[in-house]
Structure formats: C-alpha cells, structure tokens
Structure 1
Amino acid sequence: MSERTPVERQVERILDERPEREVEVIVQMDSGRGNLEKLELAATEGLHRRRFSQSPRELLPLPYQQRPSKQDKQETASTSVLFAKAATETRALARIQRLGLKTIHPLLQNGIVREALARMAEPARKGAPATDKVSQFWTSRSVPLRLKRDELRELWREVETIRAIHVNRRLSLPPLQETRQHPKEIEDLLVSTWGIEKIRALSVWGAHGIRGKSVTIGLLDTGVDPSHPDLKDKISHWAEFDSLGNLLPDSKPHDSSEHGTHCAGTLVGGKESGRYIGVAPEARLAAALVLDGEEGGTDAQVLAGIDWAVETKVDVINLSLGGWVLDPETPPTYTEAILSCVASGIPVVAAIGNEGQQTTGSPGNDQFALSVGATDPQDRAAAFSGGRTMVLLECDYIDPKYLPLLYSKPDLSAPGVAIYSSVPRGGWKAMSGTSMASPHVAGAIALLLSATSIRKKESGAHRAFLISDLITGSVEDLGESGQDHRYGFGRLDVLRAVDFARERGY
C-alpha cells in the first residue's frame, strides 16, 4: 500500500472533522517555486540559526553595500544577509501577480470546480450575498470553494498541481478587555499614551523630525471609522470582502466593531483626545474590512485582503487577527501569501494571540510573519500573550536537513496592556490584547521607513528582510537570553532601530 500524500491526509482530516454536506475549503496550487524557493531557503536558514542566537544584535544587517564575508555568511542570523547570499533576482510585483494567477488556471478548468462555482452563485446561507465571481488569491495561489464531500475526495486526484487543501476557517473577533483602572505611571503620562513613550516614538519625532509621512500602512481588520477626529483624512484606500473573498463594490468606510478603529488610532492617530495616541501620525491607512464585527470573518476574507493590500502598494501590513491553533505544527494557510508580500518588499506584522503561554494564533505563528507579543508598562509579559515553539514536520521547499524545523514565536513584543486609543463615534478607550501590540510594531516600521532611505536603496525581499532584521535586532532584550516564548527577542525600541539603520548607511 502506497504512502498517503500530504494533500490526501489533509482531505481525510477535513472530512473527519467537518460533518457538513458541503465544506468551504481553500485549495492551494503548486507555484513551481522558482525565486520564492530561494527566498524560503534563506529565511529558513535564518530561522534555524536564530534558535542559537544569544542577543538580538546578532540579527542586525551589515552596513549598506558591504559584501558579506565568508565568516558573516557562516555566523549571521540576519535573514537579509542570508538572502543576499542566495543572489536571487527581485521580481516586479506585476510578474509575481501574473505567475500566481497562472498557477491557478488549471484548477478553474476542472469539471468539479466548475460545478462548484456554479452552485456558489447561490447564497450559502440566509442573508449572504450571491456571487457570480471567482475569487482568485494570487499571493497565496489559491481559490476558495464550497465542495460536496465526494467532490472533496476526488478533486485532489484529478488536479495534480494541487499543493494543499485547507478548511476556510471562521475567525472570531479577537477577545479584548477594556481597562478602566490604570497604574500611576499611565495616569501621570499626559503627552502621549504610555506605549508610544515606551517604544521611544516620541524621541524619533524629536530627534529626526519625522512622523511617518509618505508611508502607507495596510490595516486588515473590522474596518475603521473615518469620521473619528483622530483619523480624519487618514484613510487613503478602502475595501470590504465577503466570506469567500469577493470584493463588495459599494462599501463605504465604516467599522463593524471597535477593534479596527482602535488599531488604526495606535497606528496613525493624532492628539484630539489631549494626548498623542498614534505611533506614526503622518502615515496613511489602506484599510480593509475582513472581520465583520461579532460575526467574525474567514481565512478567505483575510487572504483577499492581503492580495488587495499588496496591489494597493502598501509599505507594511498589520494583522491584529487570527484563529487559535491547538497543535504545534504550523498551518500553511498563509505561508505562501506572506512570502509573496515579502517578495514584494512588504513585511507582514501579526499578533501572536491572546490565549496565554504555549498557545499561538494563525497567521501570527507563521514562520515568515513578524509576530508580536504584548507587554505592560513595567515591561512584564502580559499573562494573555501567546507564544510557543512551532514545528514544520514536512515541507517540499525546505532542505530536508532542516526538517523537522523548530522555531520560536513571537519574534518580539510591544506595549499591549491598557492601550488608550480611538473607538467609533468620536470616543477613546483603553484596551488590552496582542491586537494592541501589533500596531505599535507596524507604526514603528512606518517611522523607520520615513526616517531612512530604505525604500530607495532596497527593493523586494531584500527590503522586507532588512526591515524585519532592523526592528527585531534593535529591541530591548528582556526575559531569557536570545528568543523566548514570552518576549520574543525583546520589547520594541523604534529609536534604536532608526539609529542602527542610519549608522549602517540606510
């Protein structure tokens, strides 16, 4: 009896766990790897070496245009240096998109898929919109489908280039806690929120005279209230997607909850409350609604939002969302999409999750996401903040010598307890969660890009890896030496990141 393929095992697991007559899945195609394979190999080697790093400074990049020596290549944990060693070309965004859509084409020609798409023109449930469109996610080389059980059993046999099949998971609104009583150090800080002061964003504003101007941050969340006084005229692009990733053409900017507006305030908010709330108040937002309030969202909505954000040419993406993952094995749903972002020069910042120690959420636990845990005003790890060792047991693009690949999450931590920020209808609240920590990091990246010439001097994956290395390599080292499950490599320090970048010629 022949050994079962990974796709066959995935299908069997889906059928065992899902009793429905029709199952919503995301079918991912083999991309043929090419340039992405070299990118993945370099990043994987970096992950492997990080396990033995004793200090975040080992992640810092070399000075601009300095060729790495043989010793540098052998000893560094900097992904940007390792990727330079791979000596791969940087592909233009249009070419990456074209290649992604090309891999999907054979799937759309299949008879099972055509029948499924015809049925999907009808609403899946009461109140859901009908659609005659086919969602195609080029960053992840995937298509969302609603398949009957027998169709799911047969599809992978009929289309040889199917790489993986995942359930289109329902993603709940991240659990948040409003904080009503604040420590004295928070109450006494009147100029800004404690998080902005702690990561030294105020010092970047003063020392370098920049606040994020000309940078666009992609925010995939519950939406945003554009009429809030702290966010007025800061939404440059808007989109909303349904549960199968279809764009809703008549949608206007709004927030289906409070979550997105709160994250937006931490990213780009002003001082209308009497204190500064945003890390990069002169940056702009490209906001997409991928979580519909209490109804939540789906993986397909998020993947559609990632496609849209890259096409909108954002500089960084913030994902304060995810689904809790019980197993230590990394779910591959978002890996290809995040790699496509990286290949386009866009780092993806994601919250690690709010279920506490030895838990993580996806996509925050993906090996290529810049994942963020939460700290409090005393630089203690928040009790709710997730983190653990993840494992890749099998992977067709990773050198077998690295398998099984073990890596730790989060990558770093940032303020995420009692974070004061905007909420819809002109209000403000203090909330806690790794959802609040992630925007501090994405906002810090906006400051880093605004304060340096990184966007002019680097492109593609070199740029994305360089940004991640600078942000992670410059943290305030907390907890155990090296990377741990509570702090990652340490707590964000954006002033040090900017200073290291400038000192190295970026």
Structure 2
Amino acid sequence: MSHRTHRPRSARSFALVASGALVAATFLTGGSAAAGTTGGHGGDHGPRSTPVPVLTPDGFLMSYVVNAKHANPGQTRLVERAVRAAGGVVVQSWPQIGVVVAHSDRAAFRADVVRKGGQAVESVGASRTAEVSEGTPSAESTRSASATRSAARTAATMSAGSATLESVTPDPREGEQWDNAQIKADQAHQVTDGSRKVVVGVLDSGIEGTHPDLAANIDTKDSVNCTTAGRPDLTPGAWNPTTSGHGTHVAGTIAAARNGVGIVGVAPNVRLASVKVVNDDGFIYPEYAICGFVWAGMHKMDVTNNSYYIDPMEFWCDDQPDQAAVRTAVQRAVSWSTKQGVVHAAAAGNSGKDLANKTTDTASPNDTTPITRTINDGCKDIPTELPGVVTVSATTQATTLASFSNRGLGVIDVAAPGRSILSTYPGGTYAKLSGTSMASPHVAGVLALMKSAHPSWSPETMIEELRKQADDHACAAAENNAGPACVGPAGDNSYYGEGIVDALDAVRKSRH
C-alpha cells in the first residue's frame, strides 16, 4: 500500500485516482536462510517457491523476528537472552505472542540465535532485505508491552451510546458519495451513526488529526506510531502523517463526522485511533504491523482497517524459512488481537490477480531489487490472506469488479466500493482515490456500525453476520474485462465473495 519516495518502485497493490489522473502507488498499498534456522515448510502447494536472497554480511544492520516455541513470558525471556548472546539487540518484545524483534549486524546471527536459544526458539527470519534505515532505538526496552498501555479512556469519550437519529441532515458533499449509497450506509444512518464506545484502529500512514471532518473523532489516547523499528512510540503527535495522505483518506471513509462539513463516513459517530505503520519511505515492514495488531488488542479496539500488504514481499511463502518465520509472527499478532475482541478488515490487493491460483510474483522484494519468482498456494498476501481477516475486493459505481482488484474463489469474503472514492485528505482537503485500499475501510465502517448495534458480538460472529448479510452478486465481466474471469455462484464467487457489504442489515438484523 505504500508511497515510495526514496526508491524507484514498481506499482503493486494500490492505485489512486486523483483529479482524473492515475497515480500509481503501493498501498493497498540469506542465502535465503542460515543453516539451522527453523521455519514452516508448506505441504503440497505445487512447485517450490523461488528463494529470495537476504544478504546479511557482517556490518549490515538487519531486522529479525524471533519466535518463541510457546507464547508466554518465560519462553519470551529465554528468546531475549538468546538474541543478546548471539550479538543482537532486543528492539521490542511481545510476550503475549512470544515474538521478539531484534537487530543485529552479525552475519551469523540467525544460526547463533537458534543455537543459543535451544528449545525456546521456534523460528527466526529477516523481516526485510534492505539494511535497517531507521537505526536501532537508543536503548533496549526494559518494560513489558503491557506497560505501554495508555491511560484508561475518559468518561467523556465513552459517554454516548448508539445514537438513534430522528432525522438526518446531509453534509455538503454527501450527495457525491455514491459509495455510501451502494452499501446502504445512507439508509443505515437513519437507524444509527454508530456508538462513541466503538473504536476503529486505522493501521496506515497516520491520520491528520486537525482535519475538520475528522478532529472530533480522533482518539489520541489510543493512537501510536509503530515505525520506530516496531517499538511503540508514544511521543505526542508521532502518529500524524508525514509523507502520505493515504491514512487520512481511509479514515474519512470509515468515520468522517456528521458536522455540516464535507462528507460523512460509513460510521460517523465512532472513534478513530491512528496506528501508524508506514515509515517515511512508504514501507510497512512486518515489525510495524505486528506492533499495530498487538497494540489494537492491548487497547481493546473493536475493529482495525488494513489497506496494505506487508513489505517487502507481495507474497510470503511458507516453504522459505525467513518468510515462514515472518508469517508466524504476524499471524500470532492477528490471532492474539482477535482473542481480545478485535475484528480485522483488509484490502485484497491491486494486482488484478487470482489469489486462489498463484504462479508468479514480479514485485518482490520491493525494498531492494525485485525478482521474477515462482510462487504457489502456500504463498500468501498478508495480512489479507491470514485466517480471521476479512478480505475485501473493490467494486465500481456500476457494481462491476474494479479492473485492478485482486480476486479469488474462496479467498474474497465481501466486496465494497473502491473506484473514485471521495474522502478526506491532508491540509483539510478532499480527494478522490481508487484501490482496494478504498474498499476495505467501507467494510471496517460497516463492522463498526455492527458492533455499535450488537456490542456483545464476538469477532467470529461479526464476520459470520457480515458475510451472511452481504448482497449476493452474480458473476459478471470485470471493469474493462480485466484479469481472470469470475467463477462461482451468485452466493459466493471469486469477484464478490458472498456479496457487496450491506450496512443497513448490519444495524437492523439480529442473529437468528
């Protein structure tokens, strides 16, 4: 999903349309492993995926995730000791999930941490192919992750329940929001604009907290910057955008306020936490996303939106040790936060690919030099293809599948508008952008409305109901007849999953 400002990059998973001009961006946007490194090896996924060299000579500062065999504080401490004994620095430790983020400039680090960790280390993998650009934070963390929890939410921010509206006064540009009409959000607003108790974590490039359509809904106490090598940065305002307006646009789709200004979000009365996971070069490295997911769980958020894929691999393969270790760490973070009550929506991606039938990848690694590599069904776009994450494809105003949207039978859960979406943008402005990045926040907004109407529902129930309530859409040609053809019945096919998401049903239907 990322904007790249310092390195030339090929466009991959995010496409923007601003003022009618197509702007490409990538938001949704060793040897291969040291001897002795453990990691998941996939089953019969077809041909073995092509290894991606991760060069780690002495003096080359690299970031790693090290996974404990068991996700508990004791095992995590043993992994921390192994990291230090192998000449590494513990950047951030997450005992909740048994994951340690480490830096080292030693070529032998991967092999040594496995050897010194003994039975405590399950796997270790480099989280990028480029040298660490942000450097190592000045001191190792001496606090458990739980110690970084922000203060309890104030009574003022928690006071209002679901607002049942007797009448709805449109905001000035609401008539331009065909997307809200397509998913029946405009009708849902006749029932509720959402609850102030509901918080949506926007894992993205930051949110402009002073934007007049967003300021009232920003939850500063739960906002954080995760791009300091994957360690939570609680510096005031560190979660603001610096080089990208992507997160501000996503935030407006979810929850632009009903305030007589600009537009209205899908859930205009819920709150937004800015969880910054995109660095100034536009990369979303695994340790940033891990921090974001765990933070959301620690702070008992209700929903997260994830309009990106995790760099530097468009697809992370379970038959490659480095990539398998990263997938394990990210999956642990997603699963743990889900257990804390957080439900996750994610963009399907903008490569126009069939995610159910993978063969090649030409975009990875995107932080050094991409190669053309063979991939198989054990290679996943993360986080969108991880278990427990709602995978969202993009529609046009005519309800056709957008030409850029990824698709896949049994992969796509639901569809939502993603072509030429009007939303908030930095500088107090508005812009029309396109991408599955724009589709996913519609679903995050619907989930926020659903949680407002049904506060006792678990993430699993919410996903089940979201899929059940979606409006079936039969296969049809994609926009410009682009990409692999649609397969499957109207009730669940490769373009729309179980249908176009329905905000009205989310707020008015009870579970049967």
**TM-score normalized by the length of structure 1:** 0.68
Cα separation, 2, equivalents of 1:387 and 1:241: 30
Specify whether residues 101 and 353 from structure 1 end up closer, same or farther in structure 2 by C-alpha distance, changes over 3 A only.
farther
The CA deviation string for residues 26-85 of structure 1, in whole angstroms up to 9 with x for no partner, is: 112223xxxxxxxxxxxxxxxxxxxxxxxxxxxxxxxxxxxxxxxxxxxxxxxxxxxxxx
Cα separation, 2, equivalents of 1:373 and 1:164: 33
Specify whether residues 111 and 416 from structure 1 end up closer, same or farther in structure 2 by C-alpha distance, changes over 3 A only.
closer
Say whether the 8 Å CA contact 1:217–1:446 is kept in structure 2: yes
Does residue 205 of structure 1 match 2:189? yes
Partner of 1:416: 418
Q: Which amino acid aligns with 1:101?
A: P
The CA deviation string for residues 435-475 of structure 1, in whole angstroms up to 9 with x for no partner, is: 111111111111111123x32xx5xxxx1100111111111
Does residue 136 of structure 1 match 2:100? no
Say whether the 8 Å CA contact 1:341–1:348 is kept in structure 2: no
Say whether the 8 Å CA contact 2:198–2:448 is kept in structure 1: yes
Q: Which amino acid aligns with 2:56?
A: E
Shift of 1:296: 2.1
Cα separation, 2, equivalents of 1:14 and 1:300: 23
Cα separation, 2, equivalents of 1:139 and 1:350: 23
Cα separation, 1, equivalents of 2:411 and 2:294: 25
Partner of 1:366: 386
Partner of 2:18: none
Specify whether residues 325 and 376 from structure 1 end up closer, same or farther in structure 2 by C-alpha distance, changes over 3 A only.
same
Q: Which amino acid aligns with 1:486?
A: Y
Cα separation, 1, equivalents of 2:186 and 2:129: 38
Shift of 1:495: 1.3
Cα separation, 2, equivalents of 1:284 and 1:438: 17
Match of 1:153 among 100, 111, 114: 111
Say whether the 8 Å CA contact 2:72–2:98 is kept in structure 1: yes
The CA deviation string for residues 121-144 of structure 1, in whole angstroms up to 9 with x for no partner, is: xxxxxxxxxxxx730134542111
What pairs with 1:241-280 in structure 2 (closer than 5 Å)? 241-252=226-237, 253-256=239-242, 257-270=244-257, 276-280=263-267
Shift of 1:289: 1.3
Match of 1:30 among 65, 69, 72: 69
Specify whether residues 7 and 250 from structure 1 end up closer, same or farther in structure 2 by C-alpha distance, changes over 3 A only.
same
Shift of 1:361: 2.9
Mark the runs of 5 or more structure 2 residues left unpaired by the alignment. 1-34, 42-48, 131-172, 319-323, 356-379, 476-487
Partner of 2:127: 168
Specify whether residues 431 and 138 from structure 1 end up closer, same or farther in structure 2 by C-alpha distance, changes over 3 A only.
farther
Cα separation, 2, equivalents of 1:491 and 1:139: 35
What is the DSSP-based 3-state SS (H/G/I as helix, E as strand, rest coil) of the residue aligned with 2:422?
Answer: strand
Match of 1:488 among 486, 494, 497: 497
Specify whether residues 170 and 260 from structure 1 end up closer, same or farther in structure 2 by C-alpha distance, changes over 3 A only.
farther
Shift of 1:498: 3.0
What is the DSSP-based 3-state SS (H/G/I as helix, E as strand, rest coil) of the residue aligned with 2:464?
Answer: helix
What is the DSSP-based 3-state SS (H/G/I as helix, E as strand, rest coil) of the residue aligned with 2:335?
Answer: helix
What is the DSSP-based 3-state SS (H/G/I as helix, E as strand, rest coil) of the residue aligned with 1:338?
Answer: helix
Specify whether residues 293 and 151 from structure 1 end up closer, same or farther in structure 2 by C-alpha distance, changes over 3 A only.
closer
Partner of 1:375: 395
Say whether the 8 Å CA contact 2:206–2:241 is kept in structure 1: yes
The CA deviation string for residues 397-456 of structure 1, in whole angstroms up to 9 with x for no partner, is: xxxxxxxxxxx322111111111000001110010011111111111111111123x32x
Say whether the 8 Å CA contact 1:349–1:442 is kept in structure 2: yes
Specify whether residues 354 and 137 from structure 1 end up closer, same or farther in structure 2 by C-alpha distance, changes over 3 A only.
farther
Match of 2:461 among 449, 463, 466: 466
Does residue 234 of structure 1 match 2:217? yes
Shift of 1:213: 3.2
Match of 1:191 among 175, 180, 201: 175
What pairs with 1:117-136 in structure 2 (closer than 5 Å)? 117=89, 134-136=91-93
The CA deviation string for residues 88-108 of structure 1, in whole angstroms up to 9 with x for no partner, is: xxxxxxxxxxx6434311101
**TM-score normalized by the length of structure 2:** 0.67
Q: Which amino acid aligns with 1:106?
A: L
The CA deviation string for residues 166-218 of structure 1, in whole angstroms up to 9 with x for no partner, is: 331379xxxxxxxxxxxxxxxxx953511111111111111x23434321111
The CA deviation string for residues 349-399 of structure 1, in whole angstroms up to 9 with x for no partner, is: 11121111225631111122111111111111111111346xxxxxxxxxx
RMSD of equivalent CA atoms = 2.9
Q: Which amino acid aligns with 1:146?
A: H
What is the DSSP-based 3-state SS (H/G/I as helix, E as strand, rest coil) of the residue aligned with 1:334?
Answer: helix
Cα separation, 1, equivalents of 2:316 and 2:381: 10
What is the DSSP-based 3-state SS (H/G/I as helix, E as strand, rest coil) of the residue aligned with 1:247?
Answer: strand
Partner of 2:371: none
Say whether the 8 Å CA contact 2:422–2:431 is kept in structure 1: yes
Of Structure 1 and Structure 2, the greater helix share is in 1
Mark the runs of 5 or more structure 1 residues left unpaired by the alignment. 32-98, 118-132, 172-188, 390-407
Q: Which amino acid aligns with 1:200?
A: K
Say whether the 8 Å CA contact 2:39–2:122 is kept in structure 1: no
Match of 2:508 among 486, 499, 506: 499
Cα separation, 2, equivalents of 1:341 and 1:383: 33
Say whether the 8 Å CA contact 1:138–1:307 is kept in structure 2: no
Say whether the 8 Å CA contact 2:240–2:274 is kept in structure 1: no
Q: Which amino acid aligns with 2:115?
A: R
Partner of 1:312: 299
Partner of 1:225: 208
Cα separation, 1, equivalents of 2:417 and 2:85: 46
Partner of 1:355: 351
Say whether the 8 Å CA contact 1:375–1:415 is kept in structure 2: yes
What pairs with 1:108-119 in structure 2 (closer than 5 Å)? 108-110=80-82, 112-113=84-85, 115-117=87-89
Cα separation, 2, equivalents of 1:111 and 1:373: 40
What is the DSSP-based 3-state SS (H/G/I as helix, E as strand, rest coil) of the residue aligned with 1:325?
Answer: coil
Q: Which amino acid aligns with 2:413?
A: D
Specify whether residues 242 and 101 from structure 1 end up closer, same or farther in structure 2 by C-alpha distance, changes over 3 A only.
farther
Instruction: Give the share of equivalent positions with the same residue, in percent.
Output: 24
Partner of 1:178: none
Give the aligned length: 374
Cα separation, 2, equivalents of 1:338 and 1:270: 28
The CA deviation string for residues 199-244 of structure 1, in whole angstroms up to 9 with x for no partner, is: 11111111x2343432111111100111111001211132112352
Partner of 1:450: 452
The CA deviation string for residues 131-171 of structure 1, in whole angstroms up to 9 with x for no partner, is: xx730134542111223221212322332232232331379
Specify whether residues 498 and 271 from structure 1 end up closer, same or farther in structure 2 by C-alpha distance, changes over 3 A only.
closer
Cα separation, 2, equivalents of 1:111 and 1:292: 25
What is the DSSP-based 3-state SS (H/G/I as helix, E as strand, rest coil) of the residue aligned with 2:215?
Answer: coil
Match of 2:286 among 273, 294, 299: 299
Match of 2:198 among 195, 199, 215: 215
Say whether the 8 Å CA contact 2:449–2:506 is kept in structure 1: no
Q: Which amino acid aligns with 1:17?
A: P
Say whether the 8 Å CA contact 1:170–1:296 is kept in structure 2: no
